[in-house]
Amino acid sequence: MKYKFCPVCGRRLEEKFSWDEGGVPYCQYDDMMFFDIPKPCIMVAIIKNDEILLLKQSYIYENSKVLLTGYVGNNETAEEAVVREVKEEAGIEIENIRYISSDYVKDKEILMINFVADFVSGEIIKSTEVEGMGWTKLSNALNEMKDDVIGTKVVKKVLEMRE
Ligand SMILES: [Zn+2]
């Protein structure tokens, strides 16, 4: 998103030249530059033996399940966001968080940072924001998440890693 007005004070931004970034929208009043940058988001494939945690969110995909996702907050790392989001949305503990890949979601201006993690403990207590959630056999996961393009790529990587 290219900022035209200052999100802090509402004044019209001017262009300031940063030697490595070119012209960047700038608020003289707040002395801040507002870069055109994506929102960082995490996606995580949680593995429990030969099963994987899939979510059903009809507002995202009517007929497809998805991997758990969430925004990275201020003052946290992507790995900390993974632990926090999994705890908030699923109520379970995970460990051994490993980076897999990243993807850019153009229409949402999201940088999706993809991880795989191992289940440790806990019964699933899904957040009220989640419609459905459960363990699915890894061997069948790809059949259930056809519309989740990024999730499918992540699960394929996970399957390769387990070979
Ligand atoms: Zn301002």
Summarised one tens digit per residue, pLDDT across range 11-59 is 999 999 877 778 899 999 999 999 889 999 999 999 999 999 999 988 8
Indicate if 14 and 90 belong to the same structural domain. no
Number of domains in the chain: 2
Interval between CA 19 and ligand 1 midpoint (Å):
21
Interval between CA 21 and ligand 1 midpoint (Å):
20
Question: Which residues form the domain of 93?
Answer: 39-162
pLDDT at 94: 98
Please state the rounded mean pLDDT for residues 120-134. Answer: 91
Interval between CA 29 and ligand 1 midpoint (Å):
5
Indicate if 119 and 158 belong to the same structural domain. yes
pLDDT at 139: 94
Please state the rounded mean pLDDT for residues 74-85. Answer: 97
CA 150 to CA 162: how far, in whole Å?
19
Indicate if 48 and 86 belong to the same structural domain. yes
* Whole-number CA gyration radius for the chain: 19
Indicate if 80 and 139 belong to the same structural domain. yes
pLDDT at 31: 95
Indicate if 108 and 28 belong to the same structural domain. no
Q: Is 86 exposed, middle or buried (0-12, 13-18, 19+ CB in 10 A)?
A: buried
Indicate if 31 and 76 belong to the same structural domain. no
Side by side, the strands of the sheet bearing 14-18 are 14-18, 22-27, 32-33
Instruction: List the beta bridge partners of residue 11.
Output: none
CA 105 to CA 58: how far, in whole Å?
19
Indicate if 28 and 50 belong to the same structural domain. no
Indicate if 116 and 148 belong to the same structural domain. yes
Indicate if 48 and 26 belong to the same structural domain. no
Interval between CA 105 and ligand 1 midpoint (Å):
28
Interval between CA 7 and ligand 1 midpoint (Å):
7
Indicate if 32 and 43 belong to the same structural domain. no
Distance of CA 95 to the CA centre of its chain: 17
Sign of the Cα pseudo-torsion (63, 68, 72, 77, in order): negative
List the shell of residues around ion ligand 1, using CB closer than 5 Å. Answer: 6, 8-9, 27, 29-30
Interval between CA 142 and ligand 1 midpoint (Å):
47
CA 91 to CA 121: how far, in whole Å?
9
Return the CATH number at 145: 3.90.79.10
pLDDT at 18: 78
Interval between CA 106 and ligand 1 midpoint (Å):
27
Interval between CA 4 and ligand 1 midpoint (Å):
11
Indicate if 73 and 2 belong to the same structural domain. no
Cβ-Cβ contacts under 8 Å for 154 (sequence gap 6 or more): 43, 45, 67, 100, 101, 114, 116
Interval between CA 66 and ligand 1 midpoint (Å):
39
Token pair 């957040």: residue = 127
CA 158 to CA 117: how far, in whole Å?
10
- pTM, two decimal places: 0.88
The terminus-to-terminus CA distance of the chain in angstroms comes to: 41
Indicate if 14 and 63 belong to the same structural domain. no
CA 79 to CA 97: how far, in whole Å?
7
